[in-house]
Homo-oligomer: A and B are copies of this chain.
């Protein structure tokens, strides 16, 4: 029975590998005239995966393994649990309705594009209303979890997470960040940043990015770095975990920090335990835990002064003119400039979480009945004013800036901020086992740091729930204190507050 189960999974994995590669290729250089046929092909294989994942045969395999749960080893037992969860989620919705839901998303994404271009929320509003209504209906099929519709959504990305927990930690974090943002605005010690925006040729950026990836321990024999428009990490198969990046010749930070971020995701997947091979638990524990790995590397490593003590000279050899006469400290302060912005994806370390909280509060309201879709533009702008002190001039800059809602990805945003909180907690716990963290980073010896993460996070894949990983690694539950202190320390020094 176990053999049939793994054989079935092997087939699903094969299809998924093909789909991942078709997608990766699409995003990294497939010729544009082939796009229509390519989309059709992805559709054909995806519907095959859906059929394999929802077949009665597979359901029976799951059931019979459940009936002898106690005889299964831990990997198989957790895999059966995961398989059951996904199977039920897919089976509970009538196929026809699920199809309509997917079609609605595709339509809404294209309307969102037009609405954003026209900066007109009213074009998008009826679609968003329908998406919210349809998602509520889906929640009805799935069965409400943890006491509220929005908690049901949270649980899909962050198993066990609830608004009660989030309200608490986000609230505490906000109370620490918002005053800091105001202090920074009033600070006289603002960093000079002009030199960041000089011409930095793409080839030199690529070369530097590759060297940094090597330093961080990214395995190039099990991955590769390519160029794309919207960067992502993708696991094609267990030993083929690819990174993509974007080279902006007028702002090298996009590629450098983007590559380090995606590298964090990739190190997670390159270091899943061998014993998870081919099983449903060979996956991140949650969106938030995945994001904790990318943000750990992007911020705690990549934006760390000691990392640049080791790498600034190397950077200079790739763009000698750009940084000529710029001291390390000035460089460090420049790349850590904090400035309230309207755009989440360009936000700095300090303000990033505020962007996420705004979306979280609005989403929660939408699903728990306190917010109407029609109120969103007004509420959005008010919250930006309140948290960040700036106000979008129009819908495109405001409520229409992200595609996520058009794709019905409700409940996903909080993971971005959660990942950041997790990362700070992991960093704090790591300091006990790796007390020479600073010296290692300054010497470019990242291995012990990465190995700690592999031991406490990577290798477990989805064998543990996110909060279990956190508890086992740090000895505590979700706690925003570490992130808040880190940000206060860092920005107090940079802005001489």
Chain A residues close to B by CB (< 8 Å): 10-11, 13-15, 17-19, 21-22, 25, 29-34, 36-38, 40-41, 44-45, 219-224, 236-240, 242
Residues of B within 8 A of A236 (CB): 30, 34
Q: Does the CB pair B239–A33 fall under 8 Å?
A: yes
Q: Does the CB pair A239–B10 fall under 8 Å?
A: no
Task: Specify which of B11, B21, B45 is in contact with A25 (CB 8 Å cutoff).
Answer: B21
Interface majority SS (helix, strand, loop, mixed), chain A: helix
The 4 closest A-B pairs by CB, nearest first: A34-B240, A14-B44, A33-B239, A18-B18
Q: Does the CB pair B38–A237 fall under 8 Å?
A: yes
Given contacts A10-B44, A21-B25, are A31 and B221 in contact (CB under 8 A)? yes
What's the least CB distance linking A36 to chain B, in Å? 8
How many copies of this chain?
Answer: 2
19 examples of A-B residue contacts, CB within 8 angstroms: A10-B40, A10-B44, A17-B37, A18-B21, A18-B45, A21-B21, A21-B25, A29-B224, A30-B240, A31-B223, A31-B242, A33-B239, A33-B240, A34-B236, A34-B240, A36-B239, A37-B238, A37-B240, A38-B237
Q: Does the CB pair B17–A38 fall under 8 Å?
A: yes
Residues of B within 8 A of A15 (CB): 44-45
Q: Does the CB pair B40–A222 fall under 8 Å?
A: no
Q: Does the CB pair B224–A31 fall under 8 Å?
A: yes
Task: Specify which of B11, B33, B223 is in contact with A221 (CB 8 Å cutoff).
Answer: B33
Residues of B within 8 A of A38 (CB): 17, 237, 240
Task: Specify which of B10, B41, B220, B221 is in contact with A17 (CB 8 Å cutoff).
Answer: B41
Interchain CA distance A44-B242 in the complex, whole Å = 22
Interchain CA distance A242-B33 in the complex, whole Å = 12
Residues of B within 8 A of A37 (CB): 17, 237-240
Given contacts A10-B44, A18-B18, A18-B41, are A33 and B224 in contact (CB under 8 A)? no
Q: Does the CB pair A238–B34 fall under 8 Å?
A: yes
Nearest-neighbor residue (CB-CB) of A14 within chain B: B44
What's the least CB distance linking A204 to chain B, in Å? 14
Interchain CA distance A405-B12 in the complex, whole Å = 35
Nearest-neighbor residue (CB-CB) of A277 within chain B: B37
Task: Specify which of B21, B34, B45, B219 is in contact with A33 (CB 8 Å cutoff).
Answer: B219
Task: Specify which of B21, B40, B240 is in contact with A14 (CB 8 Å cutoff).
Answer: B40
Interchain CA distance A237-B37 in the complex, whole Å = 7
Residues of B within 8 A of A10 (CB): 40, 44
Q: Does the CB pair A41–B224 fall under 8 Å?
A: no
What's the least CB distance linking A223 to chain B, in Å? 5
Interchain CA distance A37-B10 in the complex, whole Å = 10
